[in-house]
């Protein structure tokens, strides 16, 4: 099909509207995404200029053969193009002899361009309706067409009065680029003599315009010679002389009346052969009139010559008609094929319309769709195979190129070696043959001997090197073996040291139990006291072996607590031994696997893009490594306080300014509690520590932030722990806000401590459910666990647990909330349940509950009990029990308030005045006695 338009499909004969703002001369070759640019400097070197400054011929006609891309397959079709100056349109025909054009392209508002990466000679004509892709024979012809089309368009606009004022040195369009010389034989009237497209070629036949094709075929017939092509040559053939005519007829007669391969009757009048120029008339069917016109010429010719001339013309006419019949048969064949295609479509439509019901029609459509889907699948499969084959071919080409490069490199090396050998050979030959060579044969022999000696030395060094390599290999194996043995011995030593620590701790525990025994005699007690003193006052090397490398951990918490009482000192020694034993047994399986899991989870995650997930929950329950703890705590605090921090980003700074200008009523209590905060931490051990000043500002800011709470004892330890871990003062403040406002219930830190007391009753319910033996034992001895656990809940175990366990509790607490406190409180009692059950004295139980949390060393065991053995632990059940006990407490508080009001009202009644008369009487008696004493003294 004809066309190949991009961006529209208007009618072929449509005339484009002119542009109200015509572009300048420089827009003849516009810049495309991959096309050329209007850059005269860069394009001048590529254009064949010829007579660069020769003026264009105004009488030259712009025409010639070009290939036009069209049809659904986008194939190239050869067309004859000619420019019409009146309407500034470019008409195109199938051949130069056609009368009716296949279509036209309006150039009034068109732009021209050519792609740099396209086929050679291809260029584009872009109109508001469509884009026409053309291709010239070569680059020279393409540039000529582009420049001439630009010039024609500019001249047409100038005639219509659309051009700009041409004043100044750059007025003419020819100064845009140097003129390109017209390619000979490809453009202009001479191009009509070139062989056009064959009429039998199916690719050049326009199926889109069958009537125009048929009309052009009829116009080519000799009987229609009066019709002429749009492109014609106004050339009158010269009148042949009698001598030339006779010579022509003799030549034709000598060739046994063989017809010429040219068919002048079907050619354009401008294309003429020797016969046509000599004496063949324009219309062979008007032969008699032609004779009458040329009667003067042929009157002198013999009769046999005229008969030969007549037979020649008849043969030419017969050949022409035969070719026209063949062309018409081809056209009829194409029409038959088009008719068969339309009949197939009609048959499919008839089958669809002839179906009795919608179901059959639908089934027919589905059948066609399945066929189309199968064909599409085959096409996709073939395309996939084609891509695989192309990839394989590309891989082979790559391998071939690599091998070729290697071969080339080896050839170059070989060539270099050959050159070196050749030079050395030449030098040797010159030295041997040259009589004036200073080196004699004896010297040459000595040199050869030295070379041989050097080769022997090299061989000896190689042998020595191999021997040394074997020695190094043996030493390396010995070193690896010794390293493994050393590692094994270190592990055994650590194991033995841990066992020794365990046995020593058991020994000290036995001494402590014997010390508490009341059945020992005074002698045994003295010996026992001496043994305890020896254990506490061991040698310095034993103390160093028992104590860790540092007394403080990475956060500044003291690892072993100091006890003033002798009994507590013995307990501290036992605790140090247990911690040392635990560290030695778990030094291989320490925090490395945990650090690896956290590193894998945090890889590539910004600190503000963590999201709640079961994976993060499991990691937090296992603990956060020190490298990531501050980052995770900041994200947890930001997640729970996002709304208020986004509304007031400078809130902490404003609160600090308010604290400086307006003292808070709780500032005096805060100042008193600061020296009692985290006394076992080295950051708060000194009264002049900067951490105490930061903590003071944080607590004052919070007291202004939350007016319902203000300040409560215990908040200082929560804020101090946040400051130790996070380091930043503002981050610690928001962590305190997270705990007091977001995680804990609203009345947890108020004056009544209602929710704190309710949680103690909830804990007792859970102990009765999950630890029935221990609960019954404590009830039997009338022990109230709230005396020990109330402080746990109020400060979230701060200064109640070792630092490593405390921080793991807080990791899970900041994510899951108060449920973690209940889990770990129950886990602590479960951890030491057997030890508590062995104590049957109430005072000793209270004494044990006061410090037993400090003796826990196995954090993994405690975590496993909290999150596995305490299951199930429903949050809804916790909330329901908390609400129930909170209502009970509020009712009790209301009763107490009613009693207080009742008592206050009774104390203000008049009856109470009578009760005070006795006091008044007693006071009067005292006065009388005092007076009598005074009188006696005077006498």
CB contact at 8 A, 141 and 183:
yes
Between these two residues, 58 and 17, which has the higher pLDDT value? 58
CA separation (Å) from 475 to 463, 470, 485, 487, 489?
A: 19, 9, 15, 18, 21
pLDDT for position 538:
55
CB contact at 8 A, 265 and 320:
yes
pLDDT for position 575:
61
Half-sphere CA count of 864, side-chain side, radius 13 A: 5
Question: From edge to edge, which strands make up the β-sheet containing 63-70?
Answer: 103-106, 89-93, 75-84, 63-70, 131-135, 122-126, 111-113
Please name the helix (run of DSSP H) or strand (run of DSSP E) that holds residue 65, with its range, or none. Answer: strand 63-70
Cα–Cα dist 507/675, whole Å = 38
Q: How many whole angstroms from its chain centre is CA 729? A: 36
CB contact at 8 A, 93 and 102:
yes
Cα–Cα dist 515/528, whole Å = 7
Cα–Cα dist 782/257, whole Å = 144
Mean pLDDT of 379-406: 92
Cα–Cα dist 734/740, whole Å = 10
pLDDT for position 699:
95
Between these two residues, 161 and 437, which has the higher pLDDT value? 161
Please name the helix (run of DSSP H) or strand (run of DSSP E) that holds residue 126, with its range, or none. Answer: strand 122-126
Cα–Cα dist 580/668, whole Å = 42
46 Cβ neighbours under 8 A, 6+ residues apart:
139
CB contact at 8 A, 792 and 822:
no
DSSP assignment of 825-892: HHHHHHHTHHHHHT---HHHHHHHHHHGGGG---HHHHHHIIIIIT----HHHHHHHHHHHHHHHHHH
Instruction: Tell me the per-residue pLDDT of 195-204, one tens digit each, with 9 for 90 and over.
Output: 665 544 555 6
Instruction: Tell me the per-residue pLDDT of 133-183, one tens digit each, with 9 for 90 and over.
Output: 999 989 889 999 998 998 888 888 888 765 444 444 444 444 546 788 888
Question: Which single residue is written with the structure tokens 């006071």?
Answer: 923
Q: Does the structure show a pLDDT above 60 at 643?
A: yes
Residue 625: both structure tokens together: 């490594």
Cα–Cα dist 862/847, whole Å = 22
pLDDT for position 157:
85
pTM (two decimals): 0.45
Q: What angle do CA 920, 926, 927 make, to 5 degrees?
A: 90
CB contact at 8 A, 130 and 7:
yes
What does pLDDT average to over the chain?
75
φ/ψ bin of 50: left (φ > 0), alpha (ψ from -120 to 50), beta (otherwise):
left
Q: What angle do CA 128, 133, 138 make, to 5 degrees?
A: 140
Nearest to 537 by CA among 562, 579, 573: 573
Q: pLDDT confidence of 898, banded at 50, 70, 90?
A: confident
Q: Is 237 helix (H, G, I), strand (E, B) or coil?
A: coil
Instruction: Tell me the per-residue pLDDT of 780-807, one tens digit each, with 9 for 90 and over.
Output: 999 999 999 999 999 999 989 988 899 9
Between these two residues, 181 and 44, which has the higher pLDDT value? 181
């Amino acid at each position: 099909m004809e066309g190949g338009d991009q961006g529209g499909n208007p009618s072929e004969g449509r005339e484009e509207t002119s542009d109200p703002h015509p572009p300048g001369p420089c827009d003849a070759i516009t810049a495309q995404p991959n096309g050329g640019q209007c850059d005269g400097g860069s394009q001048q070197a590529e254009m064949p200029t010829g007579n660069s400054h020769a003026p264009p011929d105004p009488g030259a006609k712009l025409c010639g053969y070009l290939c036009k891309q069209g049809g659904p397959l986008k194939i190239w079709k050869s067309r004859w193009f000619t420019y019409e100056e009146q309407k500034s349109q470019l008409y195109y025909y199938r051949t130069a002899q056609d009368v009716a054009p296949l279509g036209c392209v309006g150039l009034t508002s068109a732009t021209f361009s050519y792609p740099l990466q396209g086929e050679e000679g291809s260029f584009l004509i872009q109109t508001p309706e469509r884009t026409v892709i053309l291709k010239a024979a070569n680059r020279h012809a393409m540039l000529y067409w582009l420049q001439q089309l630009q010039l024609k368009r500019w001249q047409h606009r100038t005639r219509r009065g659309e051009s700009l004022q041409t004043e100044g040195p750059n007025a003419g369009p020819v100064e845009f680029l140097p003129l390109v010389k017209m390619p000979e034989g490809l453009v202009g009237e001479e191009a009509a003599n070139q062989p056009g497209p064959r009429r039998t070629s199916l690719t050049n036949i326009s199926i889109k315009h069958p009537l125009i094709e048929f009309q052009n075929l009829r116009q080519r017939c000799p009987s229609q010679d009066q019709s002429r092509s749009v492109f014609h040559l106004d050339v009158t053939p010269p009148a042949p002389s009698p001598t030339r005519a006779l010579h022509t007829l003799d030549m034709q007669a000598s060739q046994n009346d063989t017809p010429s391969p040219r068919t002048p009757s079907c050619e354009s009048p401008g294309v003429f052969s020797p016969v046509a120029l000599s004496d063949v008339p324009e219309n062979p069917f008007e032969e008699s009139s032609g004779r009458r016109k040329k009667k003067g010429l042929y009157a002198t010719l013999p009769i046999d010559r005229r008969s030969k001339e007549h037979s020649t013309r008849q043969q030419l006419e017969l050949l022409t008609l035969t070719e026209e019949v063949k062309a018409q048969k081809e056209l009829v064949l194409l029409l038959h094929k088009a008719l068969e295609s339309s009949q197939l479509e009609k048959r499919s439509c008839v089958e669809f319309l002839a179906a009795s019901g919608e179901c059959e029609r639908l089934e027919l459509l589905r059948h066609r769709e399945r066929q189309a889907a199968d064909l599409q699948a085959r096409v996709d499969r073939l395309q996939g195979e084609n891509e695989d084959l192309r990839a394989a071919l590309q891989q082979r080409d790559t391998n071939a190129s690599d091998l070729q490069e290697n071969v080339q490199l080896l050839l170059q090396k070989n060539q270099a070696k050959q050159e070196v050998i050749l030079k050395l050979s030449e030098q040797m030959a010159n030295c041997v043959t040259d009589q004036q060579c200073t080196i004699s044969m004896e010297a040459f022999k000595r040199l050869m001997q030295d070379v041989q000696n050097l080769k022997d030395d090299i061989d000896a060094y190689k042998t020595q090197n191999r021997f040394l390599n074997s020695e190094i290999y043996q030493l390396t194996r010995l070193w690896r073996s010794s390293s493994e043995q050393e590692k094994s011995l270190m592990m055994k030593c650590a194991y033995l040291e841990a066992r020794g620590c365990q046995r020593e701790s058991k020994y000290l525990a036995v001494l402590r139990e014997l010390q508490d025994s009341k059945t020992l005699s005074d002698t045994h007690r003295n010996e026992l006291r001496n043994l305890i003193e020896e254990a506490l006052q061991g040698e310095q090397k034993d103390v160093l072996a028992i104590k860790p490398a540092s007394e403080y951990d990475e956060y500044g918490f003291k690892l072993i607590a100091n006890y003033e009482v002798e009994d507590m000192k013995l307990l501290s020694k036992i605790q140090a031994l247990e911690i040392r034993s635990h560290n030695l047994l778990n030094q291989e399986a320490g925090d490395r696997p945990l650090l690896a899991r956290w590193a894998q989870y945090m890889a590539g995650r910004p600190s503000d893009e963590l999201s709640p997930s079961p994976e993060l929950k499991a990691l937090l329950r296992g603990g956060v490594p020190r490298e990531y703890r501050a980052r995770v705590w900041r994200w947890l605090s930001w997640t729970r306080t996002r709304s208020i921090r986004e509304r007031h980003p400078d809130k902490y700074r404003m609160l600090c300014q308010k604290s400086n200008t307006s003292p808070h009523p709780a500032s005096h209590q805060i100042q008193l509690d600061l020296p009692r905060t985290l006394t076992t931490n080295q950051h708060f051990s000194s009264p002049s520590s900067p951490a105490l000043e930061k903590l003071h500002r944080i607590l004052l800011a919070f007291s202004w932030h939350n007016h319902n709470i203000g300040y409560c004892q215990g908040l200082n330890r929560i804020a101090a722990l946040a400051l130790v871990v996070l380091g930043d003062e503002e981050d610690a403040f928001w962590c305190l806000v997270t705990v007091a406002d977001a995680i804990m219930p609203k009345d947890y830190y108020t004056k009544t401590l209602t929710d704190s007391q309710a949680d103690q009753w909830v804990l007792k319910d859970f102990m009765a459910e999950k630890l029935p033996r221990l609960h019954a034992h404590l009830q039997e001895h009338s022990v109230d666990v709230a005396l020990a656990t109330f402080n746990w809940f109020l400060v979230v175990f701060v200064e109640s647990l070792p630092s490593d366990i405390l921080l793991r509790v807080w990791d899970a607490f900041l994510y899951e909330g108060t449920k973690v406190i209940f889990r770990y409180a129950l886990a602590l009692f479960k951890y030491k349940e057997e030890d508590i059950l062995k104590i049957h004295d109430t005072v000793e139980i209270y004494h044990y509950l006061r410090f037993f949390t400090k003796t826990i060393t196995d954090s993994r065991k405690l975590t496993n009990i909290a999150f596995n053995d305490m299951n199930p632990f429903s949050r809804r059940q916790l909330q329901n029990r908390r609400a129930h006990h909170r209502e009970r407490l509020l009712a009790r508080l209301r009763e107490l308030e009613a009693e207080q009001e009742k008592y206050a009202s009774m104390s203000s009644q008049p009856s109470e005045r009578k009760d005070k008369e006795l006091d008044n009487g007693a006071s009067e008696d005292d006065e009388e006695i005092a007076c009598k004493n005074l009188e006696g003294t005077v006498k």
